Structure 1
Amino acid sequence: MSDLPADTPAELRPRALPVQPRSQRNRRKVLDAAHALLKAHGVHQLTTVAIAEASGVSVGALYRFFPNKEAIVCHLYEEKLIEIRKLAIDTRPDAATTPWRAFFEGYFRQLKAAERVVDFDFSLADAIFMLPQLWAIDLRHGMILADQLAADMRALGSPWSDAALFDLAINLYAIDSSVWMYWRYAQRYPALAIDRAIEASLGMMRPAMEGEAEPAALGVTREQLLASLAE
Protein backbone atom coordinates (compact mmCIF):
# COMPACT_ATOMS: atom_id res chain seq x y z
CA MET A 1 0.00 0.00 0.00
CA SER A 2 1.48 3.34 -1.02
CA ASP A 3 0.54 6.97 -1.31
CA LEU A 4 3.39 7.71 -3.70
CA PRO A 5 2.08 9.03 -7.04
CA ALA A 6 2.43 6.59 -9.93
CA ASP A 7 4.96 8.82 -11.66
CA THR A 8 7.26 9.16 -8.62
CA PRO A 9 10.85 8.79 -9.90
CA ALA A 10 12.40 5.36 -9.36
CA GLU A 11 15.16 6.88 -7.21
CA LEU A 12 12.54 7.84 -4.60
CA ARG A 13 10.76 4.50 -4.50
CA PRO A 14 11.62 1.69 -2.09
CA ARG A 15 12.89 -1.55 -3.54
CA ALA A 16 10.64 -4.59 -3.66
CA LEU A 17 9.34 -5.63 -0.26
CA PRO A 18 11.54 -8.43 1.13
CA VAL A 19 9.99 -11.86 1.61
CA GLN A 20 12.34 -13.43 4.14
CA PRO A 21 11.54 -12.64 7.82
CA ARG A 22 15.15 -11.65 8.54
CA SER A 23 15.16 -9.20 5.64
CA GLN A 24 11.81 -7.80 6.74
CA ARG A 25 13.21 -7.25 10.24
CA ASN A 26 16.28 -5.51 8.82
CA ARG A 27 14.14 -3.28 6.66
CA ARG A 28 12.14 -2.31 9.74
CA LYS A 29 15.36 -1.57 11.60
CA VAL A 30 16.41 0.77 8.79
CA LEU A 31 13.15 2.72 8.97
CA ASP A 32 13.18 2.92 12.77
CA ALA A 33 16.82 4.03 12.82
CA ALA A 34 16.12 6.68 10.19
CA HIS A 35 13.29 8.09 12.30
CA ALA A 36 15.48 8.14 15.42
CA LEU A 37 18.19 10.01 13.52
CA LEU A 38 15.66 12.44 12.10
CA LYS A 39 14.53 13.23 15.63
CA ALA A 40 18.10 13.75 16.77
CA HIS A 41 19.62 15.61 13.83
CA GLY A 42 17.03 16.49 11.15
CA VAL A 43 16.94 15.68 7.44
CA HIS A 44 20.07 17.57 6.39
CA GLN A 45 22.39 15.53 8.58
CA LEU A 46 20.75 12.22 7.72
CA THR A 47 22.95 9.88 5.65
CA THR A 48 22.61 6.30 4.54
CA VAL A 49 25.89 5.47 6.31
CA ALA A 50 24.56 6.86 9.60
CA ILE A 51 21.29 4.97 9.14
CA ALA A 52 23.16 1.73 8.46
CA GLU A 53 25.34 2.17 11.53
CA ALA A 54 22.39 3.03 13.79
CA SER A 55 20.29 0.12 12.49
CA GLY A 56 23.05 -2.49 12.58
CA VAL A 57 22.32 -3.26 8.94
CA SER A 58 25.14 -3.10 6.41
CA VAL A 59 25.16 -0.30 3.84
CA GLY A 60 24.88 -2.90 1.10
CA ALA A 61 21.80 -4.45 2.68
CA LEU A 62 20.27 -1.00 3.18
CA TYR A 63 20.62 -0.28 -0.52
CA ARG A 64 18.80 -3.51 -1.29
CA PHE A 65 15.79 -2.01 0.50
CA PHE A 66 16.04 1.66 -0.49
CA PRO A 67 18.03 3.49 -3.20
CA ASN A 68 18.88 6.54 -1.03
CA LYS A 69 17.98 8.44 2.14
CA GLU A 70 15.22 10.39 0.39
CA ALA A 71 13.41 7.16 -0.45
CA ILE A 72 13.71 6.05 3.18
CA VAL A 73 12.18 9.29 4.46
CA CYS A 74 9.42 9.21 1.83
CA HIS A 75 8.49 5.66 2.80
CA LEU A 76 8.62 6.43 6.51
CA TYR A 77 6.43 9.51 5.99
CA GLU A 78 3.77 7.74 3.92
CA GLU A 79 3.82 4.75 6.27
CA LYS A 80 2.96 7.00 9.22
CA LEU A 81 0.15 8.72 7.29
CA ILE A 82 -1.39 5.39 6.32
CA GLU A 83 -1.35 4.31 9.97
CA ILE A 84 -2.90 7.63 11.05
CA ARG A 85 -5.74 7.26 8.55
CA LYS A 86 -6.47 3.71 9.61
CA LEU A 87 -6.60 4.58 13.30
CA ALA A 88 -8.67 7.73 12.84
CA ILE A 89 -11.16 6.37 10.31
CA ASP A 90 -11.64 2.98 11.96
CA THR A 91 -12.42 4.56 15.34
CA ARG A 92 -14.91 7.20 14.19
CA PRO A 93 -18.10 7.53 16.25
CA ASP A 94 -21.28 5.83 15.03
CA ALA A 95 -22.82 8.24 12.53
CA ALA A 96 -26.24 6.65 12.92
CA THR A 97 -26.49 7.56 16.60
CA THR A 98 -24.21 10.61 16.97
CA PRO A 99 -25.19 14.27 16.29
CA TRP A 100 -22.97 15.87 13.70
CA ARG A 101 -21.10 18.15 16.10
CA ALA A 102 -20.24 15.32 18.47
CA PHE A 103 -19.36 13.04 15.55
CA PHE A 104 -16.87 15.43 13.99
CA GLU A 105 -15.41 16.62 17.27
CA GLY A 106 -14.74 12.99 18.16
CA TYR A 107 -13.23 12.33 14.75
CA PHE A 108 -10.96 15.39 14.81
CA ARG A 109 -9.70 14.50 18.29
CA GLN A 110 -9.05 10.93 17.23
CA LEU A 111 -7.14 12.15 14.18
CA LYS A 112 -4.72 14.12 16.36
CA ALA A 113 -4.51 11.28 18.88
CA ALA A 114 -3.62 8.89 16.05
CA GLU A 115 -0.66 11.08 15.10
CA ARG A 116 0.76 10.69 18.60
CA VAL A 117 0.05 6.95 18.72
CA VAL A 118 2.05 6.28 15.54
CA ASP A 119 4.81 8.71 16.60
CA PHE A 120 4.31 11.26 13.87
CA ASP A 121 6.39 14.02 15.42
CA PHE A 122 8.20 17.31 14.75
CA SER A 123 10.97 15.59 12.79
CA LEU A 124 8.49 14.25 10.24
CA ALA A 125 6.28 17.34 10.24
CA ASP A 126 9.36 19.47 9.51
CA ALA A 127 10.79 17.10 6.91
CA ILE A 128 8.18 18.24 4.39
CA PHE A 129 9.95 21.62 4.24
CA MET A 130 13.28 19.95 3.49
CA LEU A 131 12.19 17.31 0.97
CA PRO A 132 9.82 18.62 -1.73
CA GLN A 133 8.92 15.01 -2.60
CA LEU A 134 6.89 14.78 0.60
CA TRP A 135 4.41 17.42 -0.57
CA ALA A 136 2.79 15.01 -3.03
CA ILE A 137 2.46 12.35 -0.31
CA ASP A 138 0.90 14.87 2.06
CA LEU A 139 -1.49 16.14 -0.61
CA ARG A 140 -2.63 12.61 -1.39
CA HIS A 141 -3.17 12.04 2.34
CA GLY A 142 -5.21 15.24 2.57
CA MET A 143 -7.36 14.25 -0.38
CA ILE A 144 -8.12 10.83 1.09
CA LEU A 145 -9.12 12.42 4.40
CA ALA A 146 -11.15 15.07 2.57
CA ASP A 147 -13.02 12.42 0.59
CA GLN A 148 -13.88 10.61 3.82
CA LEU A 149 -14.87 13.82 5.58
CA ALA A 150 -17.09 14.88 2.68
CA ALA A 151 -18.73 11.46 2.66
CA ASP A 152 -19.38 11.71 6.39
CA MET A 153 -20.92 15.17 6.02
CA ARG A 154 -23.17 13.82 3.29
CA ALA A 155 -24.14 10.80 5.44
CA LEU A 156 -24.96 13.08 8.36
CA GLY A 157 -27.37 15.13 6.28
CA SER A 158 -25.53 17.92 4.47
CA PRO A 159 -27.37 18.97 1.30
CA TRP A 160 -24.30 20.58 -0.27
CA SER A 161 -22.89 19.35 -3.56
CA ASP A 162 -19.97 16.93 -3.62
CA ALA A 163 -17.70 19.66 -4.98
CA ALA A 164 -18.61 22.10 -2.20
CA LEU A 165 -18.17 19.47 0.49
CA PHE A 166 -14.75 18.47 -0.86
CA ASP A 167 -13.62 22.09 -0.98
CA LEU A 168 -14.75 22.56 2.63
CA ALA A 169 -13.08 19.31 3.69
CA ILE A 170 -9.73 20.31 2.17
CA ASN A 171 -9.98 23.63 4.03
CA LEU A 172 -10.63 21.70 7.25
CA TYR A 173 -7.55 19.57 6.58
CA ALA A 174 -5.51 22.75 6.24
CA ILE A 175 -6.76 23.89 9.65
CA ASP A 176 -5.83 20.53 11.13
CA SER A 177 -2.36 20.81 9.61
CA SER A 178 -1.92 24.32 11.01
CA VAL A 179 -1.96 22.86 14.52
CA TRP A 180 1.56 21.60 13.79
CA MET A 181 2.76 25.13 13.14
CA TYR A 182 1.45 26.27 16.51
CA TRP A 183 3.05 23.25 18.17
CA ARG A 184 6.33 24.06 16.45
CA TYR A 185 6.21 27.57 17.90
CA ALA A 186 5.45 26.13 21.36
CA GLN A 187 8.08 23.36 21.03
CA ARG A 188 5.57 20.98 22.60
CA TYR A 189 2.04 19.68 21.99
CA PRO A 190 -0.44 21.87 23.94
CA ALA A 191 -3.99 20.51 23.68
CA LEU A 192 -5.28 24.08 23.43
CA ALA A 193 -4.31 24.10 19.76
CA ILE A 194 -6.53 21.09 19.13
CA ASP A 195 -9.44 22.64 21.01
CA ARG A 196 -9.18 25.84 18.99
CA ALA A 197 -8.85 23.98 15.67
CA ILE A 198 -11.94 21.91 16.46
CA GLU A 199 -13.94 25.00 17.44
CA ALA A 200 -12.93 26.71 14.18
CA SER A 201 -13.67 23.58 12.14
CA LEU A 202 -17.13 23.05 13.61
CA GLY A 203 -17.93 26.71 12.95
CA MET A 204 -16.91 26.33 9.32
CA MET A 205 -18.97 23.15 8.99
CA ARG A 206 -22.16 24.59 10.48
CA PRO A 207 -23.54 26.13 7.23
CA ALA A 208 -23.00 22.85 5.37
CA MET A 209 -24.55 20.76 8.13
CA GLU A 210 -27.49 23.07 8.82
CA GLY A 211 -28.61 23.49 5.23
CA GLU A 212 -27.45 27.02 4.46
CA ALA A 213 -26.60 27.93 0.87
CA GLU A 214 -23.25 26.66 -0.31
CA PRO A 215 -20.61 29.16 -1.52
CA ALA A 216 -21.17 30.62 -4.96
CA ALA A 217 -17.52 30.03 -5.88
CA LEU A 218 -15.17 27.30 -4.68
CA GLY A 219 -11.46 27.70 -4.01
CA VAL A 220 -10.23 24.15 -4.57
CA THR A 221 -11.55 21.34 -6.72
CA ARG A 222 -10.62 17.68 -6.62
CA GLU A 223 -9.70 17.82 -10.31
CA GLN A 224 -7.32 20.69 -9.67
CA LEU A 225 -5.49 18.75 -6.96
CA LEU A 226 -5.30 15.61 -9.08
CA ALA A 227 -3.80 17.68 -11.88
CA SER A 228 -1.17 19.05 -9.51
CA LEU A 229 -0.23 15.50 -8.48
CA ALA A 230 0.24 14.57 -12.13
CA GLU A 231 2.61 17.47 -12.85
Structure 2
Amino acid sequence: MATKRKKSPPNAPRRVPLQARSQRRRERILDATAALLASRGIDAVTTNAIAARARTSIGSVYEFFPNKEAVLHALTARYLERLWARTEAVLAEAPPGPWRELTERWIDALATFYRTEPGYRELWFGALLSGALLSTGAAWGDEFSARVEAILSPLTPALAPAERRVVARSTLYIASTLLALAAQQDERQGALYVEEAKKAVCRYLAPCIEPAGRPGESA
Protein backbone atom coordinates (compact mmCIF):
# COMPACT_ATOMS: atom_id res chain seq x y z
CA MET A 1 0.00 0.00 0.00
CA ALA A 2 1.48 3.35 -1.04
CA THR A 3 2.23 5.82 1.71
CA LYS A 4 0.52 9.18 1.29
CA ARG A 5 2.93 12.08 1.05
CA LYS A 6 2.35 14.56 3.81
CA LYS A 7 1.27 17.94 2.46
CA SER A 8 3.40 20.95 3.27
CA PRO A 9 1.70 23.82 5.10
CA PRO A 10 0.32 26.41 2.64
CA ASN A 11 2.76 29.05 3.91
CA ALA A 12 5.82 26.80 3.77
CA PRO A 13 8.61 27.89 1.39
CA ARG A 14 9.11 25.85 -1.77
CA ARG A 15 12.79 25.41 -1.06
CA VAL A 16 15.55 26.77 1.15
CA PRO A 17 18.38 28.18 -0.98
CA LEU A 18 21.83 26.76 -0.34
CA GLN A 19 23.96 28.69 -2.80
CA ALA A 20 24.98 32.25 -1.92
CA ARG A 21 23.51 33.64 -5.13
CA SER A 22 20.11 32.06 -4.43
CA GLN A 23 20.23 33.23 -0.82
CA ARG A 24 20.81 36.80 -2.00
CA ARG A 25 17.83 36.56 -4.37
CA ARG A 26 15.61 35.29 -1.57
CA GLU A 27 16.77 38.10 0.73
CA ARG A 28 16.09 40.64 -2.02
CA ILE A 29 12.53 39.32 -2.28
CA LEU A 30 12.05 39.69 1.47
CA ASP A 31 13.59 43.18 1.41
CA ALA A 32 11.19 44.17 -1.36
CA THR A 33 8.23 42.83 0.62
CA ALA A 34 9.29 44.80 3.70
CA ALA A 35 9.60 47.96 1.60
CA LEU A 36 6.11 47.44 0.17
CA LEU A 37 4.66 46.96 3.63
CA ALA A 38 6.31 50.14 4.88
CA SER A 39 5.34 52.33 1.92
CA ARG A 40 1.95 50.99 0.84
CA GLY A 41 0.60 48.70 3.57
CA ILE A 42 -0.26 45.03 3.67
CA ASP A 43 -3.12 45.22 1.14
CA ALA A 44 -0.65 46.30 -1.56
CA VAL A 45 1.50 43.21 -1.12
CA THR A 46 0.99 40.78 -4.00
CA THR A 47 3.45 38.43 -5.66
CA ASN A 48 3.44 40.64 -8.75
CA ALA A 49 4.17 43.75 -6.69
CA ILE A 50 6.91 41.92 -4.81
CA ALA A 51 8.54 40.82 -8.05
CA ALA A 52 8.39 44.34 -9.47
CA ARG A 53 9.86 45.88 -6.31
CA ALA A 54 12.61 43.25 -6.18
CA ARG A 55 13.33 43.78 -9.89
CA THR A 56 13.01 40.10 -10.56
CA SER A 57 10.59 37.85 -12.43
CA ILE A 58 7.41 36.47 -10.90
CA GLY A 59 8.87 33.03 -11.58
CA SER A 60 11.79 33.87 -9.31
CA VAL A 61 9.36 34.65 -6.48
CA TYR A 62 7.50 31.37 -7.04
CA GLU A 63 10.78 29.50 -7.13
CA PHE A 64 11.06 30.15 -3.39
CA PHE A 65 7.48 30.78 -2.25
CA PRO A 66 4.13 29.29 -3.35
CA ASN A 67 2.10 32.44 -2.52
CA LYS A 68 2.32 35.84 -0.85
CA GLU A 69 1.36 34.36 2.55
CA ALA A 70 4.49 32.22 2.40
CA VAL A 71 6.59 35.31 1.67
CA LEU A 72 5.05 37.13 4.64
CA HIS A 73 5.57 34.09 6.84
CA ALA A 74 9.26 34.00 5.91
CA LEU A 75 9.56 37.74 6.50
CA THR A 76 7.98 37.31 9.94
CA ALA A 77 10.58 34.67 10.77
CA ARG A 78 13.35 37.06 9.71
CA TYR A 79 11.89 39.84 11.84
CA LEU A 80 11.74 37.45 14.80
CA GLU A 81 15.41 36.53 14.52
CA ARG A 82 16.46 40.17 14.19
CA LEU A 83 14.25 41.20 17.09
CA TRP A 84 15.60 38.41 19.24
CA ALA A 85 19.15 39.44 18.37
CA ARG A 86 18.29 42.87 19.81
CA THR A 87 16.96 41.21 22.95
CA GLU A 88 20.09 39.10 23.37
CA ALA A 89 22.26 42.18 22.87
CA VAL A 90 20.39 43.96 25.67
CA LEU A 91 20.84 40.97 27.96
CA ALA A 92 24.53 40.67 27.11
CA GLU A 93 25.31 44.37 27.53
CA ALA A 94 23.31 44.96 30.70
CA PRO A 95 25.25 44.59 33.95
CA PRO A 96 23.59 42.56 36.71
CA GLY A 97 20.96 44.77 38.29
CA PRO A 98 17.28 45.31 39.02
CA TRP A 99 14.87 43.48 36.74
CA ARG A 100 12.90 46.67 36.13
CA GLU A 101 15.91 48.39 34.60
CA LEU A 102 16.55 45.44 32.33
CA THR A 103 12.87 45.38 31.32
CA GLU A 104 12.95 49.07 30.43
CA ARG A 105 16.09 48.63 28.32
CA TRP A 106 14.43 45.73 26.50
CA ILE A 107 11.36 47.84 25.75
CA ASP A 108 13.57 50.65 24.44
CA ALA A 109 15.21 48.13 22.09
CA LEU A 110 11.81 46.90 20.87
CA ALA A 111 10.62 50.47 20.35
CA THR A 112 13.68 51.22 18.20
CA PHE A 113 12.99 48.08 16.17
CA TYR A 114 9.40 49.18 15.47
CA ARG A 115 10.61 52.54 14.20
CA THR A 116 13.63 51.42 12.20
CA GLU A 117 12.79 48.01 10.72
CA PRO A 118 10.86 48.60 7.46
CA GLY A 119 7.42 47.01 7.37
CA TYR A 120 7.53 45.38 10.81
CA ARG A 121 4.74 47.45 12.35
CA GLU A 122 2.49 46.96 9.31
CA LEU A 123 3.07 43.21 9.25
CA TRP A 124 2.49 42.88 13.00
CA PHE A 125 -0.90 44.60 12.73
CA GLY A 126 -1.69 42.62 9.58
CA ALA A 127 -0.96 39.35 11.34
CA LEU A 128 -3.40 40.33 14.09
CA LEU A 129 -6.18 41.54 11.81
CA SER A 130 -5.94 39.50 8.61
CA GLY A 131 -7.54 36.08 8.52
CA ALA A 132 -4.94 34.86 6.04
CA LEU A 133 -2.14 35.80 8.43
CA LEU A 134 -3.63 34.69 11.74
CA SER A 135 -1.58 31.48 11.74
CA THR A 136 1.58 33.47 11.00
CA GLY A 137 0.83 35.84 13.85
CA ALA A 138 0.12 32.95 16.20
CA ALA A 139 3.39 31.24 15.25
CA TRP A 140 5.29 34.48 15.88
CA GLY A 141 3.60 34.81 19.28
CA ASP A 142 4.33 31.21 20.24
CA GLU A 143 8.01 31.41 19.30
CA PHE A 144 8.80 34.77 20.86
CA SER A 145 6.74 34.02 23.98
CA ALA A 146 8.73 30.83 24.51
CA ARG A 147 11.95 32.85 24.45
CA VAL A 148 10.55 35.44 26.87
CA GLU A 149 9.41 32.59 29.09
CA ALA A 150 12.99 31.30 29.28
CA ILE A 151 14.16 34.72 30.49
CA LEU A 152 11.39 34.88 33.10
CA SER A 153 11.99 31.37 34.40
CA PRO A 154 14.76 32.18 36.92
CA LEU A 155 12.92 35.36 37.98
CA THR A 156 9.60 33.63 38.70
CA PRO A 157 10.35 30.36 40.54
CA ALA A 158 6.97 30.47 42.31
CA LEU A 159 5.02 30.27 39.06
CA ALA A 160 3.89 26.96 37.62
CA PRO A 161 5.07 26.39 34.02
CA ALA A 162 1.58 26.93 32.61
CA GLU A 163 1.22 30.21 34.52
CA ARG A 164 4.65 31.39 33.38
CA ARG A 165 3.73 30.64 29.77
CA VAL A 166 0.66 32.88 30.06
CA VAL A 167 2.66 35.62 31.78
CA ALA A 168 5.33 35.54 29.05
CA ARG A 169 2.81 35.80 26.25
CA SER A 170 0.87 38.55 28.01
CA THR A 171 4.10 40.49 28.62
CA LEU A 172 4.99 40.28 24.95
CA TYR A 173 1.58 41.41 23.72
CA ILE A 174 1.25 44.25 26.25
CA ALA A 175 4.61 45.62 25.12
CA SER A 176 4.02 44.99 21.41
CA THR A 177 0.60 46.63 21.31
CA LEU A 178 1.73 49.82 23.04
CA LEU A 179 4.95 50.02 21.01
CA ALA A 180 3.07 49.57 17.75
CA LEU A 181 0.88 52.47 18.84
CA ALA A 182 3.97 54.50 19.76
CA ALA A 183 5.45 53.93 16.31
CA GLN A 184 2.41 55.61 14.71
CA GLN A 185 2.93 58.87 16.62
CA ASP A 186 5.36 61.72 16.18
CA GLU A 187 8.58 61.49 18.15
CA ARG A 188 7.32 63.32 21.25
CA GLN A 189 4.02 61.46 21.51
CA GLY A 190 5.69 58.18 20.65
CA ALA A 191 8.11 58.57 23.54
CA LEU A 192 5.16 58.97 25.92
CA TYR A 193 3.67 55.66 24.76
CA VAL A 194 7.05 53.94 25.15
CA GLU A 195 7.12 55.12 28.77
CA GLU A 196 3.59 53.82 29.26
CA ALA A 197 4.71 50.45 27.87
CA LYS A 198 7.50 50.33 30.45
CA LYS A 199 5.12 51.15 33.30
CA ALA A 200 2.49 48.68 32.13
CA VAL A 201 4.91 45.76 31.73
CA CYS A 202 6.70 46.44 35.03
CA ARG A 203 3.44 46.73 36.96
CA TYR A 204 2.17 43.54 35.35
CA LEU A 205 5.33 41.57 36.14
CA ALA A 206 5.90 42.90 39.65
CA PRO A 207 3.50 40.53 41.48
CA CYS A 208 5.08 37.56 39.63
CA ILE A 209 8.68 38.52 40.36
CA GLU A 210 8.12 40.15 43.77
CA PRO A 211 5.32 38.10 45.37
CA ALA A 212 3.82 39.28 48.67
CA GLY A 213 6.05 38.50 51.63
CA ARG A 214 9.24 38.37 49.54
CA PRO A 215 11.66 41.27 49.88
CA GLY A 216 12.12 43.24 46.68
CA GLU A 217 11.77 46.59 45.05
CA SER A 218 8.76 48.70 45.77
CA ALA A 219 5.95 48.59 43.22
- Relative distance call for 1:106 and 1:68 in structure 2 (3 A) is same
Q: Which residue of 2 aligns with 1:127?
A: 126
Contact 2:141 2:169 in 1 (8 A): yes
Contact 1:30 1:62 in 2 (8 A): yes
Q: Which residue of 2 aligns with 1:61?
A: 60
Give CA-to-partner distance per residue, 1:166-225, whole Å, 9 cap, x none: 222222122112215534764777121111011111112111222228xxxxxxxxxxxx
Q: Which residue of 2 aligns with 1:229?
A: none
Give CA-to-partner distance per residue, 1:22-51, whole Å, 9 cap, x none: 222222222111222222322323222222
Q: Distance in 1 between matches of 2:164 and 2:179?
A: 24
Deviation at 1:100, TM superposition (A): 1.8
- Relative distance call for 1:140 and 1:212 in structure 2 (3 A) is farther
Correspondence list, 1:155-174, <5 A: 155-156=154-155, 158-174=157-173
Deviation at 1:11, TM superposition (A): 3.2
Secondary structure, aligned partner of 1:92: helix
Name which of structure 1's ranges 127-136 and 14-23 shifts more when overlaid on structure 2: 127-136
Q: Which residue of 2 aligns with 1:92?
A: 91
Secondary structure, aligned partner of 1:72: helix
Unaligned 5+ runs, structure 1: 1-6, 214-231
Q: Which residue of 1 aligns with 2:76?
A: 77
Q: Which residue of 2 aligns with 1:200?
A: 200
Q: Are residues 1:179 and 2:174 paired? A: no
Q: Are residues 1:211 and 2:215 paired? A: no
Secondary structure, aligned partner of 2:44: coil
Contact 2:152 2:168 in 1 (8 A): no
Deviation at 1:154, TM superposition (A): 3.6
Q: Distance in 2 between matches of 1:130 and 1:154?
A: 31
Identity percentage of aligned residues: 27
Q: Distance in 1 between matches of 2:196 and 2:135?
A: 27
**What is the count of residue pairs matched by the alignment?**
207
Q: Which residue of 2 aligns with 1:190?
A: 190
Unaligned 5+ runs, structure 2: 1-5, 214-219
Q: Distance in 2 between matches of 1:149 and 1:68?
A: 31
Give CA-to-partner distance per residue, 1:131-177, whole Å, 9 cap, x none: 43433333333334433434433423653333322222222122112
Q: Are residues 1:136 and 2:135 paired? A: yes
Contact 1:15 1:64 in 2 (8 A): yes
Q: Distance in 2 between matches of 1:23 and 1:191?
A: 40
Structure with bigger helix share is 2
After superposition, the CA RMSD in angstroms is 3.0
Contact 1:33 1:51 in 2 (8 A): yes
Taking structure 2 as the reference length, the TM-score comes to: 0.78
Contact 1:15 1:65 in 2 (8 A): yes
The amino acid that maps onto 1:194 is V
Taking structure 1 as the reference length, the TM-score comes to: 0.74
Q: Which residue of 2 aligns with 1:105?
A: 104
Name which of structure 1's ranges 138-147 and 74-83 shifts more when overlaid on structure 2: 138-147
Secondary structure, aligned partner of 2:91: coil
Secondary structure, aligned partner of 1:60: helix
Q: Distance in 1 between matches of 2:169 and 2:8?
A: 27
- Relative distance call for 1:185 and 1:199 in structure 2 (3 A) is same
Q: Distance in 1 between matches of 2:171 and 2:7?
A: 27
- Relative distance call for 1:155 and 1:94 in structure 2 (3 A) is farther
Greater RCO, CA 8 A, separation 6+: 1
